[in-house]
């Protein structure tokens, strides 16, 4: 690593730490000075700084020290923060912004998926087919072919067929998750291993897509039905989750994302965040939204409260609770007020009934959780608003 590379590396790490400050807080820092004589770790000069301060929206220089913004202002005034070990970067007029917060991301599982059969961002069925074929050929020793990221609209009725996947992975089971996480594409070996046949009933909150002529599973599993196959996939170890988290936060760092809401956290995901946090390697601030098992009803509030206490760290807190109310539009699993135009009488089915939802939201709210909801269809959204109102009426409207 050259001296220039080392300077750039120090600069990027210091900048990532410093701009954890969110945009709403930056006006209190803009165009102010730190303590006299306090040397900066990093000075950015010749910059177009967006301060987020309406009274003085632009500045020329930023000084950062010990993870804090020490100064935002003119190029001439920033020089007094320069010390013997200060890294100085001339940005040549490039813009400096506060970091972003991503309010809905799956950083751990998304990072894990990057190391599997990664189908994210592919634009045609042909590209997906080529990627699966290449991954299977490159990894002949894997017992299962797993991964995902395929987009639903690339396949007729958002329903990829098992025969297509059989042709690509004929020698072992394969299951690939859709980009939205609400469907899975399985080959014949995976379905057989899981015992999924035309006689298998749809599980609660899920649907097995079937061939209209034979009634046999077609290869696509919706919502909880994906678990019929996925429970047979060999478990990943803790180190796999940590590796995925490192990959995810590396991308977050490059995109200027310094704080996230983890949109649905299991204990394995929480363990990965906590391990990296304890080791000082968690570069993003994480608010984890704990996955709610709606089948357990109001008793979930007590279980999640224990997790909230157990997973509290320097950059990790688990103060939200995630309820899934319905699915998504493309496979017709979203809950609607009126029937789907191509499915007379079918409005989709919510994953819990309104009375149970109201009670659960009320219990979680009373336990001090921020209630986080997946709701896509207009019926599910109405249910969510009703549940929030029920919680407020029972516990008081706090915000």
Interval 310-320: pLDDT, tens: 999 999 999 99
Mutual angle of helices 267-278 and 107-114, in 10-degree steps:
90
- State the pairing for strand pair 95-96/48-50: parallel
Structure tokens at 261: 């809401």
Query: What pLDDT sits at residue 27?
Result: 34
Identify which of 38, 34, 43, 45 has the alpha carbon closest to the alpha carbon of residue 11.
43
Say if residue 2's pLDDT is above 60.
Answer: no
Map tokens 């965040």 to a residue.
Answer: 273
Per-residue pLDDT tens over the stretch 73-119: 999 999 999 999 999 999 999 999 889 999 999 999 999 999 999 99
> What Å distances lie between residue 357 and 225, 268, 325, CA to CA?
21, 26, 8
Structure tokens at 247: 């990959």
Query: Integer distance in angstroms from the first to the last C-alpha of the chain?
Result: 51
Query: What pLDDT sits at residue 20?
Result: 36
Count how many Cα atoms sit within 13 Å of the Cα of residue 270 in the half-sphere of its side chain. Answer: 22
Burial of 10 (0-12, 13-18, 19+ CB in 10 A): middle
Average pLDDT, rounded, for the chain: 91
Radius of gyration of the chain (CA): 25
Share of residues in the chain with pLDDT > 70 (%)? 91
Per-residue confidence at 290, pLDDT binned at 50, 70, 90? Answer: very high
Structure tokens at 234: 């060999």
Per-residue pLDDT tens over the stretch 12-32: 444 443 443 333 333 334 444
Q: What is the mean pLDDT of residues 200-218?
A: 95
- How many Å apart are CA 242 and CA 182, to the nearest integer? 24
pTM of the shown model = 0.82
Per-residue confidence at 161, pLDDT binned at 50, 70, 90? Answer: very high
Say if residue 259's pLDDT is above 70.
Answer: yes
């Amino acid at each position: 690593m050259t001296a220039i590379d080392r300077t750039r590396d120090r600069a990027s790490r210091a900048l990532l730490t410093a701009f954890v400050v969110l945009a709403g807080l930056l006006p209190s820092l803009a165009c102010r000075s730190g303590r006299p004589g306090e040397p900066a770790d990093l000075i950015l000069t010749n910059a177009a700084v967006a301060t987020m301060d309406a009274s003085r929206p632009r500045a020329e220089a930023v000084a950062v020290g010990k993870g804090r913004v020490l100064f935002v202002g003119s190029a001439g005034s920033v020089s007094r923060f320069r010390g013997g070990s200060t890294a100085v970067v001339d940005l040549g007029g490039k813009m400096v912004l506060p970091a972003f917060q991503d309010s809905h991301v799956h950083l751990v599982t998304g990072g894990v998926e990057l190391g599997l059969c990664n189908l994210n961002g592919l634009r045609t069925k042909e590209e997906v087919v080529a990627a699966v074929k290449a991954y299977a050929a490159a990894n002949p020793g894997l017992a299962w072919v797993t991964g995902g990221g395929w987009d639903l609209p690339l396949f007729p009725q958002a329903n990829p067929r098992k025969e297509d996947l059989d042709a690509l992975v004929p020698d072992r089971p394969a299951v690939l998750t859709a980009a939205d996480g609400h469907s899975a594409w399985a080959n014949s070996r995976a379905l057989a291993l899981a015992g999924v046949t035309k006689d298998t009933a749809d599980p609660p909150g899920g649907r097995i897509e079937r061939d209209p002529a034979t009634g046999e599973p077609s290869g696509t599993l919706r919502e909880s039905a994906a678990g019929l196959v996925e429970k047979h996939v060999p478990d990943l170890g803790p180190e796999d989750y940590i590796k995925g988290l490192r990959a995810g936060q590396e991308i977050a760092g490059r995109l200027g994302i310094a704080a996230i809401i983890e949109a649905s956290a299991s204990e394995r995901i929480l363990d990965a965040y906590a391990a990296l946090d304890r080791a000082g390697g968690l570069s993003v601030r994480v608010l984890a939204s704990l996955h709610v098992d709606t089948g357990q009803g109001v008793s979930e509030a007590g279980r999640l409260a224990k997790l909230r206490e157990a997973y509290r760290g320097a950059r990790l807190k688990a103060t939200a609770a995630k309820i899934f109310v319905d699915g998504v539009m493309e496979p017709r699993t979203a809950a609607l007020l009126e029937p789907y135009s191509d499915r007379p009488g079918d409005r989709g089915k919510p994953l819990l009934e309104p009375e149970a939802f109201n009670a659960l939201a009320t219990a979680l709210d009373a336990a001090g959780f921020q209630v986080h909801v997946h709701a896509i269809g207009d019926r599910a959204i109405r249910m969510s608003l009703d549940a929030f109102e029920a919680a407020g009426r029972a516990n008081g409207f706090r915000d």
